[in-house]
Chains A and B, each alone.
Chain A
Amino acid sequence: MKKDSLAQVFARAKSENRAALIGYMPAGFPTLEGSKELIRALIDGGVDIVEVGFAYSDPVMDGAIIQEAAEIALRNKTGAKEVLEVVSSVSVPSLVMSYWNPIERYGVKNFTEALASAGGVGVITPDLTIEESGDWIEETERNDLHRVYVVAPSTDDSRLAKVAGKCSGFVYAASLMGVTGARNSLSDNASELVARLRKVTDLPIAVGLGVSTAEQAASVAKFADGVIVGSAFIKLVLQAPDIAQACKSVTLLARELSEGVRQGRVG
């Protein structure tokens, strides 16, 4: 059975008057098989799109929770091969989220070809600037992969237009200035950033960083096309006594969040 495209997922969410729910889980965390099961649990709970994390030794955009998950994945010797294996097991559209060096080391051409064969639909690159993208643009095009860059509240309007112009699939808007991880409250930065993005792009806009509860998901769903959640899931896995319990908790949270992204547009 052919998976939906990203565009189909965002279109369906729009027709249902809701935001899409995007869940992040690193490959190889807490084990290679465990990460596949956790991703199935995310999807069971209603996650529409999956970000498969490629663990990296120096994750400067990540807070303590994802750093811990990355360390565990690296101890399990998770590399490109394992990341691609996890991608190929995912039943909804999946993107790889990776810092740049592991991709450069694998080879841009090799990585994009291998990801396309594994059934991945794109790559999110949090530390790749458009100026350094070089043959990344060409190779992702050639392999029909979406390129997702991450923009921030500090990104000015002219740069937003340039970066969004190189994105495809969707634009990742960081809700705040900072690293990944749950926050008690989200500022107005996210809605302002999305409003500025709307002026320069017709692509769907997904908001991430700091979202952990159904209430936050609902508030973000009011103005964004997608809500991205990562650390909140990982925290549950770190707290769970075993993988079965972890999967249950992850599904429960995904279900709550999935209700959240539906409530945002009501009334």
Chain B
Amino acid sequence: MERIELVGHFGPYGGRFVPEALIGALDELEAAHNSASKDPEFQRELNDLHKSYTGRPSIITEAKRFAEHAGNARILLKREDLNHTGSHKINNVLGQALLTKRMGKKRIIAETGAGQHGVASATAAALLGLECVVYMGEEDTKRQSLNVARMKLLGATVVPVTTGSRTLKDAINEAMRDWVTNVSTTHYLLGTVAGPHPFPTMVRDFHRIIGVEARQQVLEMTGRLPDAVLACVGGGSNAIGIFHPFIDDAGVRLIGFEAGGSGVESGKHAATIVGGTPGVLHGTRSYLLQDSDGQTIESHSISAGLDYPGVGPEHAYLHDIGRAEYRAITDDQAMHAFSLLSKSEGIIPAIETAHALAGALQVGNELGSGAILLINLSGRGDKDVQTAAQYFGIPL
């Protein structure tokens, strides 16, 4: 298997499909990221924040009771939910916020679906003294009202987006419009491994720490590499973060779980790789949900964080070359796994993450006892209590 990485491209995917107005800012960002990644001072500053602010390295928890439902495979959970702000998102946000300062910009804008990236961005902005504006689909501000309040408490401005489907996709459109207008003073702190180059590469680099740590931890715990690494995939940031350091380990399967919504066959889903086709959205070429005229189709998922009709271009490439597998998990399968982890391990996962846990039940039963599965527990479920209570009929 040959992996060719042209700058900004993953095979036919990636690239830059943006107004010319943004090219200068993307070049500036690419240069800042490249120089920062070679700058020991920047790395020290970021590592200090990881250690003394985020709480890295995140631990690994073996889920023994949950494993009984997963063919008795060993289930190792990489606990990104224990990071400050409750998800993996903080890894990328701190990196980009430091880059913002390095570029001499004072304002960040961000999009958010579930609110996790918005909360992380607002947090980093508060920590580093930056102005922060978060664009969030109006629909999502209702589903995730608690996170809206958190962002406001942290000093950020939350702008509800009322165009299009009023979800993450439209929040990104609005953030891009802001960026085109204010690019000289503003950094767009994109929260996933999508968007124009350098975002897919840069955001991946900031999340690689998940896989780098986990690979070492699993080796120490078990004396070998895992049989499979599992993660949920919306835009794909937590998945690429844990997958990437394993790509050259040919014996390790990489499996991403997309949001199957009501089922891929129903058309109401967000399973972009499983049920989509290649095209261009939000500045990058990848798989997306689109109709025969190239118009984006609205995605559907119980999980606001996975409810996105695109996916990072590196995932599209890993899929096409067969290095990673992608499957769809329905809302019901995800909520079953959500409940199971909560009751068997005392860990309430984010509904996004529950898709990976449902995947662990599948893959564990396929591989059986003796197999070792590493799962990225990308976020905690506090923000989802309302949605889950509603789903399970628990009166509030």
- Chain A residues with CB under 8 Å of chain B are 56-61, 63, 67, 71, 74, 79-80, 100-106, 126-129, 131-132, 149-156, 159, 163, 174, 177-179
Contacts and interface: CB of A to CB of B under 8 A. Distances in A.
Nearest to A176: B181
Contacts of A132: 15-17, 285
B292 interface: yes
A129 B23 contact: yes
B24 interface: yes
Contacts of A71: 164
A60 B294 contact: no
B16 A154 contact: no
B201 interface: no
A151 B23 CA distance: 10
Contact of B180 (A61, A101, A155): A61
16 contacts: A56-B294, A57-B164, A58-B173, A61-B177, A67-B163, A106-B293, A106-B294, A127-B17, A154-B25, A155-B21, A159-B20, A174-B19, A174-B20, A177-B21, A178-B180, A179-B177
B21 A129 contact: no
Given A60-B19, A128-B17, A155-B21, A179 B181 contact: yes
Interface stretch (B237-245, B276-284, B343-351): B276-284
Given A57-B296, A177-B180, 12 more contacts: A56-B295, A59-B173, A129-B20, A129-B23, A132-B285, A150-B19, A152-B20, A153-B21, A159-B20, A159-B24, A163-B20, A174-B20
Contacts of A179: 177, 180-181
Contact of B164 (A58, A79, A126, A149): A58
A211 to B, nearest CB: 17
Nearest to B25: A154
A154 B279 contact: no
Contacts, number: 108
A105 B19 contact: no
B21 A127 contact: no
Contact of B173 (A60, A106, A153, A174): A60
Nearest to A59: B173
B183 interface: yes
A151 B182 CA distance: 16
Nearest to B163: A67
Contacts of B285: 132
Contacts of A63: 177
Interface string B1-40: 0000000000000011111111111000000000000000
Interface in B294-322: 294-296
Interface core residue of A60, A74, A79 (most chain B CB under 10 Å):
A60
Interface in B145-197: 163-164, 169, 173, 176-177, 180-184
Contacts of A154: 20-25, 183-184
B272 interface: no
A190 to B, nearest CB: 13
Contacts of A151: 20
Interface bracket on B? 20 to 34
Nearest to A156: B24
A65 to B, nearest CB: 12
Interface of B: 15-25, 163-164, 169, 173, 176-177, 180-184, 279-283, 285, 290, 292-296
A80 to B, nearest CB: 6
A101 B291 CA distance: 11
A174 B21 contact: yes
B181 A60 contact: no
A71 B165 CA distance: 11
Interface core residue of A58, A104, A129, A179 (most chain B CB under 10 Å):
A58
Given A58-B296, A79-B293, A102-B294, A155 B281 contact: no
The 7 closest A-B pairs by CB, nearest first: A105-B294, A152-B21, A79-B293, A102-B294, A178-B181, A60-B176, A57-B295
A82 B20 CA distance: 28
A73 to B, nearest CB: 11
A152 B16 CA distance: 16
Contacts of B294: 56, 101-106
A104 B20 contact: no
B184 to A, nearest CB: 7
A60 B177 contact: yes
A177 B181 contact: yes
B134 to A, nearest CB: 17
Contacts of B293: 79-80, 102, 105-106
Contacts of A177: 21, 180-184
Nearest to A61: B19
A128 B22 CA distance: 12
Contacts of A67: 163
Nearest to B15: A132
B280 A104 contact: yes
A167 to B, nearest CB: 11
B391 to A, nearest CB: 29
A101 B20 contact: no
Contact of B292 (A104, A105, A150): A105
B257 to A, nearest CB: 25
A192 B107 CA distance: 27
A129 B22 CA distance: 11
Nearest to A63: B177
Contacts of B183: 154, 177
Nearest to A132: B15
A127 B18 contact: yes
A179 B180 CA distance: 7
A131 B20 contact: no
